[in-house]
Amino acid sequence: MPPAVAVSGLAKRYGQVTALDGASWKADVGRITAVLGPNGAGKTTMVECCEGLRRADSGEVRTLGVDPWRAGPDHRARVGVMLQDGGLPNAARPLRLLHHLATLYARPAPVADLVERLGIDEFAGTSIRRLSGGQRQRVALAAALVGRPEVAFLDEPSAGLDPHARLEVWDLVRSTATAGSAVVLTTHSFEEAERLADHIVVVARGHVVAEGTLAEVTHGGRLEDRYFALTGRSVA
Amino acid sequence: MRSAPDPARSAPSPASAAASRGAAAPGLHRVLSQARFETGTLMRNGEQLLVALVLPAAVLVGLVHSEAVSLGDGRRVDLAVPGVLALCVISSAFTGQAISTGFDRRYGVLRLLGASPLGRTGLLLAKAAAVLSVVALQLLAIVVLGAVLGWEPHLGGIPAALAAILLGTWAFVALALLLAGTVRAEGVLALANLVWLGLLALGGVVVPGTELPGRLAPVVELMPSGALGDSLRAALVAGQVRLGDWAVLAAWGLAATLLARRFFRWGD
């Protein structure tokens, strides 16, 4: 089966700043791919190119076999997106927002299930503006999954969550992959990558410096040690 | 003749799993759904309602009952209602839309919806539909209040008034998007409110340019606010079409649309 996401030689510059300089990696259907890398390494730019939010300067990006830049609505319906800053309208309440987003899809997931699973019903009547960071994150995750995507891009889905909420999120991410989606998540958590990822991509200085299963990337060592060796530990 | 059993029928293959999901709702449905959502958000927002309905209504009552401000020759209520209709357009199409879009951009909402089946074009169409429905509600409220206050419009001028309102809505939405897509959200909040106040006082909206201090009149005629106010007064007081004002509105609409297309940034 062709990979759900295939990136080769991806380059992107912002003026004088080179964000990505020939990055190549892939993500498979039914598996969780974790993208690790220091802030500013180019993770977000890379994922945004795969989501069709940014256009690559050069190289090739294929999401579900299609160039995501300017891809049509039916393609976008197959791709779920959770942005780091949430992307949620401040004034709306979670339930109204999720029910609205569901109307954009022909065959959405049942909103009630997502809401119950992520514990959103506890704060369903509070506007997004008044939610805690972790609560907002759960709504953003539900927003990414409400269209039953074939590929879900999740930007730090469990950052800032308490341990219970984090387990719920991990369960949901795992069952999304088990149901046949490709999940691509960016993370700074070694624990998250070790426990959850089937496939690991390490990004540094605009390049992919390692890619493979946990064992392939770490050679049997600790992910944390390997990560610092790959990304150049710079301790102030 | 019977063919061999199709393996895809007996076990769910990835292809059939994919076919059972992952399609967008129809385009018109998406746009109308987003328009309803945005209108609902606007109507639930206290500050927006204040600017969209309460303040224009208060301005109308104040203008009709006080003689402090000269509105020109004619019955005060007949001169005041068209000006307040123009103010409504500026409230929703410019101030309300600039602030909501500015903050949606800041919080990544524009990026998220751009990546959703709605898309960027769908979002813009939905915003236009939402603004037009809010403007329609405002017009209804002001027309009813005007009638209570004794307003007698020139009925023959209603089509011309509607045309002016559509042109004015276009010009002010385009200006709102130009502002919201280029300036930080806090700056948009401050500027959009300041411009609203400035246009109310000196922009020829409710007080015609001819009643403002002499040097302002020629400037106000070329502003979208003055052109909208004057064309509505001409239509609803005398049943006249002022093509020059329509041209001014269209020129602002075109210029702001082109600039917004060029400079609008979807993310912060």
SS in 3 state form for A7-64?
Answer: EEEEEEEECCEEEEEEEEEEECCCCEEEEECCCCCCHHHHHHHHHCCCCCCEEEEEEC
Q: Does B34 touch chain A (CB under 8 A)?
A: yes
With H, G, I as helix, E, B as strand and everything else as coil, classify residue A6.
strand
For residue A164, give how far its alpha carbon lies from the nearest alpha carbon of chain B (Å): 27
Q: Does A100 touch chain B (CB under 8 A)?
A: yes
pLDDT digits (tens, 9 = 90+) for A163-214: 988 999 999 999 999 999 999 999 999 999 999 999 999 999 999 999 999 9
Q: Does B265 touch chain A (CB under 8 A)?
A: no
For residue B254, give how far its alpha carbon lies from the nearest alpha carbon of chain A (Å): 25
Query: What pLDDT was estimated at residue B6?
Result: 43
pLDDT digits (tens, 9 = 90+) for B38-87: 999 888 888 888 888 999 999 999 999 988 888 888 899 999 999 999 99
Residues 6 or more apart in contact with residue A89 via CB below 8 angstroms: A97, A128, B41, B104, B107, B109
pLDDT digits (tens, 9 = 90+) for B189-214: 999 999 999 999 999 999 998 888 88
Q: Do A92 and B119 touch (CB under 8 A)?
A: no
For residue A37, give how far its alpha carbon lies from the nearest alpha carbon of chain B (Å): 22
What is the helix (H) or strand (E) element at residue A154, kind and residue range? strand A151-155
Query: What pLDDT was estimated at residue B20?
Result: 54
Residues 6 or more apart in contact with residue B129 via CB below 8 angstroms: B31, B32, B35
Query: What pLDDT was estimated at residue B70?
Result: 86
Query: What pLDDT was estimated at residue B22?
Result: 63
Q: Does A71 touch chain B (CB under 8 A)?
A: no
Q: Do A87 and B109 touch (CB under 8 A)?
A: yes
With H, G, I as helix, E, B as strand and everything else as coil, classify residue A196.
helix
Query: What pLDDT was estimated at residue B21?
Result: 62
Q: Is the pLDDT of residue A117 over 80?
A: yes
Q: Is the pLDDT of residue A74 over 50?
A: yes
Cβ-based contacts of A78 with chain B (< 8 Å): 18, 21-23
Q: Does B239 touch chain A (CB under 8 A)?
A: no
Q: Do A105 and B111 touch (CB under 8 A)?
A: no
Query: What pLDDT was estimated at residue A105?
Result: 97
Q: Does B102 touch chain A (CB under 8 A)?
A: no
For chain A, what is the radius of gyration of the CA atoms? 17
Q: Which residue of B has its CA nearest to A30?
A: B14
Cβ-based contacts of A81 with chain B (< 8 Å): 112, 115-116
pLDDT classification of B17: cutoffs 50, 70, 90? very low
Q: Does B69 touch chain A (CB under 8 A)?
A: no
Q: Closest to A76 (Cβ–Cβ): which among B27, B29, B117?
A: B117
Q: Do A107 and B104 touch (CB under 8 A)?
A: no
From the candidates A74, A76, A137, A181, which should be mutated to test the interface with B, based on the most B CB atoms within 10 A?
A: A76
Residue A162, Cβ neighbours under 10 Å: how many?
9
pLDDT classification of B168: cutoffs 50, 70, 90? very high
Residues 6 or more apart in contact with residue B112 via CB below 8 angstroms: A81, A83, A87, A88, A143
Q: Do A76 and B116 touch (CB under 8 A)?
A: yes
Q: Do B23 and A88 touch (CB under 8 A)?
A: no
pLDDT digits (tens, 9 = 90+) for B125-155: 999 999 999 999 999 999 999 999 999 999 9
- Cα-Cα-Cα-Cα torsion B148, B154, B160, B163, nearest 10 degrees, comes to 0
pLDDT classification of B3: cutoffs 50, 70, 90? very low
Dist. CA A64–CA B177, nearest whole Å: 33
Cβ-based contacts of B119 with chain A (< 8 Å): 73, 76
pLDDT classification of B102: cutoffs 50, 70, 90? very high
From the candidates B112, B113, B123, which should be mutated to test the interface with A, based on the most A CB atoms within 10 A?
A: B112
Q: Can you give the three-state secondary structure of chain B, one letter per residue?
A: CCCCCCHHHHCCCHHHHHHCCCCECCHHHHHHHHHHHHHHHHHHCHHHHHHHHHHHHHHHHHHHHCCCCCCCCCCHHHHHHHHHHHHHHHHHHHHHHHHHHHHHHHCCHHHHHHHCCCHHHHHHHHHHHHHHHHHHHHHHHHHHHHHHCCCCCCHHHHHHHHHHHHHHHHHHHHHHHHHHCCCCHHHHHHHHHHHHHHHHHHCCCCCCHHHCCHHHHHHHHCCHHHHHHHHHHHHHHHCCCCHHHHHHHHHHHHHHHHHHHHHCCCCC
Q: Residue B148 is which amino acid?
A: V
Q: Do B108 and A51 touch (CB under 8 A)?
A: no
Q: Closest to B25 (Cβ–Cβ): which among A87, A92, A106?
A: A106
With H, G, I as helix, E, B as strand and everything else as coil, classify residue A210.
strand
Count how many pairs of residues, chain A against chain B, have C-beta atoms within 8 Å: 109
Q: Does B43 touch chain A (CB under 8 A)?
A: no
Residue B46, Cβ neighbours under 10 Å: how many?
8
Q: Which residue of A has its CA nearest to B102?
A: A89
What value, to the nearest 5°, has the Cα angle with vertex A210 and ends A208 and A212?
Answer: 120
Dist. CA A90–CA A92, nearest whole Å: 6
pLDDT classification of A233: cutoffs 50, 70, 90? low
Cβ-based contacts of A79 with chain B (< 8 Å): 115
pTM of the model: 0.88
Residues 6 or more apart in contact with residue A224 via CB below 8 angstroms: A190
* Span A91-112, average pLDDT: 96
Q: Does A155 touch chain B (CB under 8 A)?
A: no
Q: Does A110 touch chain B (CB under 8 A)?
A: no
Dist. CA A84–CA A71, nearest whole Å: 22
Q: Do A104 and B25 touch (CB under 8 A)?
A: yes
Q: Does A90 touch chain B (CB under 8 A)?
A: yes
With H, G, I as helix, E, B as strand and everything else as coil, classify residue A80.
strand
- Cα-Cα-Cα-Cα torsion B92, B170, A96, B49, nearest 10 degrees, comes to 10
